[in-house]
Amino acid sequence: LCMSEAFKEMYDVIVNRRDDPQEGSYTCYLFDKGLDKILKKCGEECTEMVIAAKNHDNEELANEINDVLYHMAVLMVERGLTVEEVDAIMRERSKKIGNLKQFHVSDHNT
């Protein structure tokens, strides 16, 4: 099972929890609390991922990346965004070669 297939399976479970709520489900709790709670959790998990990376802890980093992906999938379901829609954009972007953006250099001393 590759990562994209595992993500799709997780996404499908999240859709199922939304459509058929289960008692004691964390996913159902997030849907009940709404978009603000889901967004808060996305931000928290991103921060925890950054800290794990900074601490050079790859096991913790892998766990935090999974937490980010899970909460991102909950957000996608909440907003009605499908895996296929995101996948289409990802496939288009993967075809781009040599698209390094030019960054604006600013003088921070002024």
Show pLDDT as tens, one digit a residue, over the chain (110 residues). Answer: 678 899 999 999 999 999 999 999 999 999 999 999 999 999 999 999 999 999 999 999 999 999 999 999 999 999 999 999 998 898 888 888 676 666 666 666 66
Handedness of CA 77, 72, 30, 63 (dihedral sign): positive
Taking the whole predicted model, whether its pTM rises above 0.75 is answered as yes
d(CA 54, CA 52): 5
